[in-house]
Amino acid sequence: MTINARGATPDSAGHSEVFGGQGRTGRRVADLVVLLTPPLLLVVPALLIRARSIDDGYLFLNLASLGISALVAAYAQMGWHARPHDGDLLSARTLSGRRTVDLARLTKVGRLEVPGQARTDDRLILTDAHGVRLILDKLAGGDETVDALVRRALLSRPPGAGVVVSDRAAERLDLSTEVRRPHGRLKAGRTVREGVIGWIPILSVVVFAPVSFGLLVAGFLLSGVD
């Protein structure tokens, strides 16, 4: 792949073109769904209950609204069948359509770790200057991860590029030392202690539960249920 090549290139596994900025609209739609789900699930059922169109049991959807938003925020960005293309483009399929990140124009690199019973689901979060975001782990057709491509692209950036790399992503990409260098190619991002990762499900419940119950109470008040 070359750093300076730009423009659309054919998908070697299919027939659609890939290009920088592809999937930007899909990300905006997903972000809109994430933002609007809690208020819509609060207001719409309450108004329908006031009109006696539905049962007040629908108000309990408020308990799930934040969880739905969180799932959309994560899964709408997750890619599969990721493939590199000319011009430092990395393309993958997502639930909202094909997305393509420009590795030569990355602005943020994060890491998503979701603890499970058997293993931790570990992926990189890539965001480029076009506003496209992809959550990826492996390339299509094998067990090779996207790490080597991302690491090479980050090390090829000029001094002062200021790509924000979280501490967990830097650890996975073996760039912790590079992030601390004064040239400004990479910039330290969010810091999360390793021991906290296993507590994320419990911490999520602690944060979500009070807000969800607050939305439920607001729904009852808005609907006028006695």
The confidence score (pLDDT) of residue 186 equals 94
Per-residue pLDDT band at 201 (split at 50, 70, 90): low
- Whole-model pTM: value is 0.81
pLDDT surpassing 90 at residue 156: yes
The pLDDT, as a whole number, for residue 193 is 59
Q: Using CA atoms, how far apart are residues 85 and 70, in angstroms rounded to an integer? A: 31
CA distances (Å), origin 113, targets 12, 41, 134:
30, 28, 14
> Running DSSP on this structure, what letter comes out for residue 174?
T
User: So what's the pLDDT on residue 14?
Assistant: 53
Residue 3: per-residue pLDDT:
43
Higher pLDDT, 66 or 199: 66
**pLDDT higher than threshold 90 for residue 164:** yes
User: Mean pLDDT over residues 45-65, rounded?
Assistant: 93
**2-6 contacts at long range (C-beta below 8 A, 24 or more positions apart):** 2/86, 2/87, 2/88, 3/88, 3/104, 3/156, 4/87, 5/86, 5/87, 5/88, 6/87
pLDDT of 7 higher than 90:
no
Nearest CA-CA partner of 187 in 208, 199, 205, 169:
169
What does the pLDDT read at residue 199? 60
Greater confidence, 52 or 199?
52
